[in-house]
Structure 1
Amino acid sequence: MKRFGLRSAQKTPPGLQGDGAAPSVPPAAPAEMAEMSFLDHLEELRWALIRGLGGVLVATIVAVFFREWIIENILLGPKKADFFMYRVFGIEAREFVLQNRTITGQFFADIGTIFAVGVVLGSPIFVYSLWKFVEPGLYPHEKQGMRFAAFFATFFFMLGIAFGYLVITPLALQFFASYQISPEIENEFDITKYFSMITFWSLGVGILFELPVVIYFLAKLGIATPAALRRFRKYALIVTLVLGAIFTPPDPISQVLVAMPLMLLYELSIYIAAVVERRQARALKAALE
C-alpha cells in the first residue's frame, strides 16, 4: 500500500524559521511513501481482504478433514465424565444426554463447527493480510507499536479461548446439567444449543480477554485514564463476581476461579493506562522544552 503523499510535503511550521530555534523536523517518511489515488487504495484493500478470506477458506477446508476428531475430542469432550478438567477441579462429573430435535440440527451443527474452527485457525492469516496493507504507510515507531498491539491482542484472545473452554465451559455445563427445579424434569440438551454455547463461552471469553488491548488504545486516545479505571474498580469487582456466580457451580472456589482472572485483567488494564499516561506526559514535557 502506498500512502497519499501528504506527510512528505510537511514543512517547518511558521514561526520557527529564522528565530534561532532548532526547527521541528518530522521523522523520515517511509521510502514506500508515494502518491496513490483513492481508488488505488481501495483496490489494494480489496486484494488484502481477498487474501485474508482465502486464508480463512483454506483453514476451513483443513478443518473438514479433521471434523470427526474435533467433534469427538473438543466439542464433546466437556460432555464426558472423564474430561480431564473435571479431575483438575475435583468434580464428580455428571454425563448428560444430547438430542437432535430438528431435521437439520446435526447438519447445521456440523457446518457451524467447521466454520468456527476455520475462522479461529484462519484469523491470523486474515490479520496478517490487513497488516501488510497498512504497514507501508506507517513510520518505524508506528510499526513497532502496531506489532506490539497485534502480538498481545492475539495472545490475550487465545488465552481467553483456552480459559473459556477449559474453565468456564466444564463448570457451566456441570452446573446446568445438575440444576433441576423438580426431580420429574430431566435435563436433555439440544445438540445445536450445546455446540452454540460452547462456541459462545470460548470465543466470548476470548473477546473479553482483549480488555487490556482495548484499554491501551483508549488510553492512547485519552478516553480511558488510570484514575477513572480505579474509580470503577469496585463496580468491576461486582460484575466479575456476578459472572462467576452465573457460570459456575454454587461454591466459592469455582466462583473465585472465574472472577480472579477477570480482575487481574482489569488491574493490568489500569497499569497499562498509567504507563501510557506517563509516556504521553513525558513526551508533552519534552515538546514544550
Structure 2
Amino acid sequence: MAKKNLNEMSFLDHLEDLRWLLVRSTIAIIIMAIVTYFISDYLFDTIIFGPTRPTFFTYIYLCELSHSLGFAESICITEMPFIIQNTEMEGQVNVFIWICILAGFILAFPYILWEIWKFIGPALYDNEKKNAKIFIFFASLLFFLGVLFGYYVIIPMSVNFVATFTVSDVVLNQFTLNSYIGMVKTSVIAGGLFFELPIIIYFLTKLGLVTPLFLRNSRKYAIVLVLIVAAIVTPPDVVSQTIVAIPMLLIYEASIFLSVFVAKKELKS
C-alpha cells in the first residue's frame, strides 16, 4: 500500500505512524538488550562497577594530572571506603534486567533516531530530507559522547564524593545496589541527552522558538547553573569542578553558534 502524502494524512494516521515508531524502537531496544545479556559479566564487573575501584581510568588520570599541576596527592584515590549491598529479594534480578535495557537503549539509539527522522520526514523540505544521514551521524555522535562524559566524568566524580564524605567516623557508607545503579543510569542518560542540546537548539531555532539573542542573554544563567551542577557532582576542589564544567559550557557555546548559523540561513531563504 502506498504511503499517504502529508496533506492526505489524518490525525489518526499520524498516531498510527507514531505507534509503529514506538513499536519498532522498542523491538530494537529489546534485541540490543538480548545482545548485552551475552556479555553481562563484562558489562557489570568491568563497566557498571568499574568506577567503584581505585584503578578506574578517571581516578588514575586525575592523580597523574594532580602531579603534573603540582598538587601532589591532593586528588589521588587509593581506596573506596564503602560497600554496595543488595537489600531486596529481587533486587539483583531487577537491576540485571534494567541495565540490559539501558544498554540496549544506548546501542539502539542511532536506529531510534532513524525512526524519528522517518516520522518527521513528511513535514520536511526535499533538501532537508537529504540531510538524514548527517543528522543521525551527529546526533548519535553527540549522544555517545554525552554517555561517555557521564560515565568517565560524572559517575566517578559523584562516587568519589559520596564515598569520602561523612558526617562522622562512626557512620559507615553502605550503599544499596538500587541507589548506585540509579546514579549510573541517571548520569549516563542525562549526559547523553545534555549533549543533544545543539541538535535541540537547531530545530528550535528553525521553528523560531529560540533565537541567538535569547541564548546569549541566558549565558550568565547557564554558566551559574553549570557551575552549581559541577559543584554538586564533584569533590570540593577546583580541578574536578573545572573538568566537569568546561565540556558543558562548550556544548552551550556550540549551541549558540549553531543557532546563529541557522538563523542567518533562515533569513536568506
Normalising by structure 2, we get a TM-score of 0.86
2:55 matched to 1:82?
A: yes
Partner of 2:148: 162
Q: What secondary structure is seen at the aligned counterpart in 2 of 1:185?
A: coil
How many Å apart are 1:129 and its aligned residue?
3.5
Higher deviation after alignment, 35-44 or 174-183: 35-44
Partner of 1:2: 3
Match of 2:218 among 232, 247, 251: 232
Q: What secondary structure is seen at the aligned counterpart in 2 of 1:78?
A: helix
How many Å apart are 1:218 and its aligned residue?
1.2
For 2:221 and 2:13, how far apart are their aligned partners in 1? 48
Match of 2:268 among 274, 282, 289: 282
Give the length in aligned residue pairs. Answer: 255
- CA offset digits 1:179-234 (Å, max 9, x no partner): 00011001111111111111111111111111111111111111211111111111
What one-letter code is carried by the residue in structure 1 that aligns with 2:221? Y
Cα distance, 1:164–1:55 mapped onto 2, change above 3 Å: same
Q: What secondary structure is seen at the aligned counterpart in 1 of 2:175?
A: strand
Partner of 2:258: 272
Whether the 8 Å contact between 1:60 and 1:118 is mirrored in structure 2 is: yes
Partner of 2:71: none
Match of 2:46 among 46, 64, 73: 73
For 1:137 and 1:218, how far apart are their aligned partners in 2? 15
Cα distance, 1:242–1:107 mapped onto 2, change above 3 Å: same
How many Å apart are 1:39 and its aligned residue?
6.0
Whether the 8 Å contact between 1:160 and 1:207 is mirrored in structure 2 is: yes
For 1:266 and 1:149, how far apart are their aligned partners in 2? 19
- CA offset digits 1:114-133 (Å, max 9, x no partner): 11111211232233234445
Q: Answer 1 or 2: which has greater helix percent.
A: 2
Partner of 1:50: 23
Whether the 8 Å contact between 2:223 and 2:249 is mirrored in structure 1 is: yes
Cα distance, 1:170–1:185 mapped onto 2, change above 3 Å: same
Partner of 1:286: none
Cα distance, 1:102–1:237 mapped onto 2, change above 3 Å: same
Q: What secondary structure is seen at the aligned counterpart in 1 of 2:89?
A: coil
Cα distance, 1:251–1:132 mapped onto 2, change above 3 Å: same
Q: What does 1:127-206 align with in structure 2 at a 5 Å threshold? A: 127-132=113-118, 134-135=120-121, 138-206=124-192
Greater Rg by CA: 1
Whether the 8 Å contact between 2:114 and 2:136 is mirrored in structure 1 is: no
- Runs of 5+ in structure 2 lacking a partner? 64-75
For 2:51 and 2:6, how far apart are their aligned partners in 1? 55
2:77 matched to 1:92?
A: yes
Partner of 1:60: 33
Cα distance, 1:3–1:194 mapped onto 2, change above 3 Å: same
Partner of 2:238: 252
What one-letter code is carried by the residue in structure 1 that aligns with 2:217? R
Cα distance, 1:194–1:135 mapped onto 2, change above 3 Å: same
| Pairwise CA RMSD | 2.2
Match of 1:120 among 83, 95, 106: 106
Cα distance, 1:276–1:127 mapped onto 2, change above 3 Å: closer
Q: What secondary structure is seen at the aligned counterpart in 1 of 2:110?
A: helix
Q: What secondary structure is seen at the aligned counterpart in 1 of 2:130?
A: helix
Whether the 8 Å contact between 1:52 and 1:130 is mirrored in structure 2 is: no
For 1:155 and 1:179, how far apart are their aligned partners in 2? 35
Whether the 8 Å contact between 2:6 and 2:122 is mirrored in structure 1 is: no
Normalising by structure 1, we get a TM-score of 0.81
- Percent of paired sites with the same residue: 38
